[in-house]
Structure 1
C-alpha cells in the first residue's frame, strides 16, 4: 500500500510518515512535503517520480497539495497532483491513504498569508487549492478502500489501528469517519471561497457606483 502525503501544515507529518514506513507503507509526497520528510531521514518517493511528470508553474515557497499556489524551492510548482496516474492509483486503492491539508486561500506563494488583511500584490484567491481538493474528493469517493486524513490530530490513531489490524487495513467505520471529516473540511473551504467572491462582488459594485 502507498500513502500520498501533501500538506501545508507540517505538524506531526514526519512522525506520521516514519511510522507508516515502519509498517511497510510506501510514502509518496509532493516536493515541499517530500523535502521536509527527506531532511528528517524519511525515505520518500516524490510525486514527480511516481507520475514521471515534473511539477509545473513553480513559485517561491510553500509545499502542499498540487493545483494551487503551492510552489516551493527545488523545482516544485502549482500543478503537482492533477495527473491521471495519481487519481487512478486512488481509484484502485494502490494509494490507500490520502493525507492532505489545503493551502490557505489567501496565501501569496511567497510565504505570506493575509489573514484577512489586504496586502498589495496578493490576489484574493491566489492560494486557491485545486489539486488538493481533487485528491480529497477522489479519496472520499473511494472511502471504502481509501483513508482520507485531513487532520494531523488523527495521525497517531491511524497508525495505531493500522499496526493492530491483521491485514494492515483500517476498519470501514474509521474510513467512513475520516471521509466525513474530510467532506466537512471541504465544505468549510468552499464556504471561505464563497466569502471571498461575495467580497469581490461588493467591491466591484462600489467601483461601478
Structure 2
C-alpha cells in the first residue's frame, strides 16, 4: 500500500482559518475483469470479452503482410513467459492455428494498423453468444510498438481486462491500479498482483 502524507495547509481568508488536509493516497484493487459492475455485457464481436479457456493457445503470424518480425515475436514471448505463464493460465503456442469451429486458436497475434489513435487493439472475432467469453481474439499491434507494456495491455484485453473507467470501483485510466491495462501504458508495464489474483480466481 502506498501512503503519501503532507503537512496540513493553512489558508487565511477574511479572518477565517481553513485547514485543508491532504487525503492519504493508497492503492485499490479494482474488479477489472469482465464482467464488472460497470461493464456487464454479453460478449459480442469487437467487445471486451474473456478468453474462453484456462489453456490459452496463441499464434504469432509468421508470413505475409501481418508477419511479426523476430524482435516482435521475442517481445510477445517474453510477456507470455514472464507475465501470463506464471498465472493459472496454461499458455500453449499453436504452430498450426485454427480459425473456425469449436476449438479455434484463442489468440491470433498480428502486426497490423489499427484505427484511431491507438497503437494496438484486441478484438473478439468469434463471440460465444450469451456468455462473457470469446472463442478467438485477434490481437493487433502496429509496427514499431511491440514494447512489453503494450503487448501485456492488449493480451490483457484478450484475457478480459477493461480500462479503469469500466472497473469497479472506477479508477483513473492512467492509474497503476490497472496494471498493464492502464492507458496510456508505460513501455515496461506488466500485470499487477490484483490482475494475477483475478486471473487465478476466475
TM-score range, shorter chain: under 0.3
- Give the structure, 1 or 2, with the largest relative contact order (CA under 8 Å, sep 6 or more): 2
For the pair shown, which has the larger CA radius of gyration, 1 or 2?
2
- Superposition TM-score, scaled by structure 1 size: 0.24
